[in-house]
Amino acid sequence: MNVEQKETEGRIAISNRKARHEYEVLDSFEAGIVLRGSEVKSLRLGNANLQDSYAFVKAGEVWLSGMHINPYEQANILNHDPVRERKLLLHKKEIRKLVGKTSEKGLTLIPLKVYFKNGRAKVEVGLCKGKRSYDKRAAIAKRETEREMRRQFSNKDY
């Protein structure tokens, strides 16, 4: 294991920051992801994008669609399709729970982040409900007031 790999172990490779703004996360699951060799190498370099990606349940399996992993430059002819659907690995009990929840109106599965854990790529998938525009404005206002309060307390001399 070289130095570059040690640095990526245990830290977030890619995060979907827009998802927390657009959706309210009700529950989250850690899932493994089925990848090809060139995809893993490209992911370790951080060459992926989770924007506009989502997960769905089909025939008792969970699939990730819309995740873009850039082709690995050194893979030449054996490179992968950047936007192919990728299978997520979850326990049957978790899949059954997701089938029931996603059938409810307004709930969807959104990938929140991709990271490496013990050398394996993992995806944190969130069961999400879409936010309205006024909910987004309220969240921004709350974040601003908290930031201002922290700033005021840090500037005070006791």
pLDDT in tens, 66-116: 998 888 888 777 777 788 899 999 999 999 888 888 887 778 899 999 999
pTM exceeding 0.85: no
Give the chain's domain count. 1
Closest CA to 12 of 119, 113, 120, 110: 113
Structure tokens at 29: 């699951």
Gap between the Cα atoms of 144 and 63, Å rounded: 37
Gap between the Cα atoms of 136 and 108, Å rounded: 18
Domain CATH code at residue 86 = 2.40.280.10
Residue 141 domain flag: no
**Position 43 pLDDT exceeds 60:** yes
Residue 158 domain flag: no
How many whole angstroms from its chain centre is CA 72?
A: 20
Residue 95 domain flag: yes
Length of the chain counted residue by residue = 158
**Position 125 pLDDT exceeds 90:** yes
The range of the structural domain enclosing residue 87 comes to 3-131
**Position 44 pLDDT exceeds 50:** yes
